[in-house]
Amino acid sequence: MPDAPVLTTSIGAVRGVREAGVDRFLGIPYAAPPFGERRYAPPHPVEPWEGERDASAFGATAPQTPYRGGLEKYLPSVIVHGDDILTVNVWAPADRSNDAPLPVLVFVHGGAFTRGSAALAAYDGTAFARQGIVYVSIQYRLGQEGFAVLDDVPLNLGLADQEAALRWVRREIGAFGGDPARVTAMGHSAGANALAALLAAPQAGELFDRVILQSGPLSAQPLAKASRMSKAVAKRLGVPATRAGFASVDPAALAETQTALSNASPLARAPGVALAIGGDLVPRNPLDAIRDGAGRGIPVLIGTTSEEYRLWFVPTGMLERVRPSTLSLARAAARVPSRIVKAHRERRPDASAGEVLGEIMTDMLLRGPAVQLADSRIGAASTHLYEFRWPSPVDGLGACHGMELGFVFDALDTPDAVALGGADGPAALADAMHSAWVAFVRDGDPGWEAWSAPRPVRVFDADGASTEYAPRAEDLVGLPTR
């Protein structure tokens, strides 16, 4: 049938859907379901299948709870029930009459390692496929299934899933018209954090040829801190912090307990879910390894939005609750020099205490580490920095965390993008960002000069894009990062 393309992988044939010149193949397993005897074990190979596997619908999503605490208004959740959660989805041009293999883009979703799904409408790969790119999105274990710190369980299992998915791409993407020697990995938020860890790993070159890191921390946590959530979950449920203890609990109950113990604000002292330093995949802090030369041969596109913090501060009311005294206490606790607060005040004299605190936290968690990464790579493979500044008109969200996604994917009309940015996002900005990402995937050059001593940063705003040199330099000098 013309609307049901069939391709054959090394594991079996898959039957997808053809629509508007794009073929999509959804829910293809790259590893066996990680439940039963395989729960809390590294990803296990998929058993080959006979005949054609239906690849017209997304696979099951990792156990999770929907967003709460005000975030649910802006961050949708997709829940697909089932055990086959380790799957990939592929979009490719339907016309593959040209035998030349196409560049490949692999997307790793965010969600604080506790939420998210490749099935979100905003992550649809149609726009990239129409530009001659084979687009892949992946799903991986989340929360206590993927990032528990337990006495007898390998660390960072969700990251091991991502590595397995990237190896699937190298092995199988040729069947979809993709070039296994031209793979760009792209991650947002926690997805970028995970890819930074893989960039720091010795096997990075086996997994991807270029990498895009959007609004992601570049660090992992020491075991003592990373284990806090698992210990708290174990205590709340009355089970030991072991494989047997957690395997005795239904995954949904683990997710609910984890949510009850969490807090959406980055100021909170509640435990969180994070990459843990230790084991084979993350033997040391990724940013430290990168600054010492790891991944120097792999081109990097990295950046942030200008007001990341507003996604957490606005829905929770934190923006209004922060007083000057709160700012002073937080500055002292984080050992931020007072001159940095002064620099923010001089740049934005009308900013509230909450806005200044949010900007400093954005610099510490995201912007500062990105600049450090870029500085350490001068003379290595190219590094390109960007900053997204378009302010959403919705509820004072501004240029918050995740706002750039609808523009990168050229998908401003999806419900996900409208929830954050409204119905009238500037098309010129979507054209500029999407085109830059496509260019980077094709040949490693997004269209502006690579990072060097003058510190060029591509700024994306309502009218498109322009380049600034060393923006916010006064805010970052001497700022501690984490």
Active site residue ranges: 189, 308, 401
Exposed/middle/buried for 167, CB within 10 Å: 0-12, 13-18, 19+?
middle
SS (H, E, C) the chain: CCCCCEEECCCCEEECEEECCEEEEEEEECCCCCCHHHCCCCCCCCCCCCCEEECCCCCCCCCCCCCCCCHHHCCCCCCCCCCCCCEEEEEEECCCCCCCCEEEEEEECCCCCCCCCCCCHHHCCHHHHHCCCEEEEECCCCHHHHCCCCCCCCCCHHHHHHHHHHHHHHHHHHHHCEEEEEEEEEEECHHHHHHHHHHCCCCHHHHCCEEEEECCCCCCECHHHHCHHHHHHHHHHCCCCCHHHHHCCCHHHHHHHHHHHCCCCCCCCCCCCCCECECCCECCCHHHHHHCCCCCCCCEEEEEECCCCHHHHCCCCHHHHCCHHHHHHHHHHCCCCHHHHHHHHHHCCCCCHHHHHHHHHHHHHHHHHHHHHHHHCCCCCCEEEEEECCCECCCCCECCCCCCHHHHCCCCCCHHHHHHHCCCCCHHHHHHHHHHHHHHHHHCCCCCCCCCCCCEEEEEECCEEEEEECCCHHHHCCCCCC
Best CA proximity match to 365, nearest among 272, 230, 469: 272
Q: Are 7 and 173 in contact (CB under 8 A)?
A: no
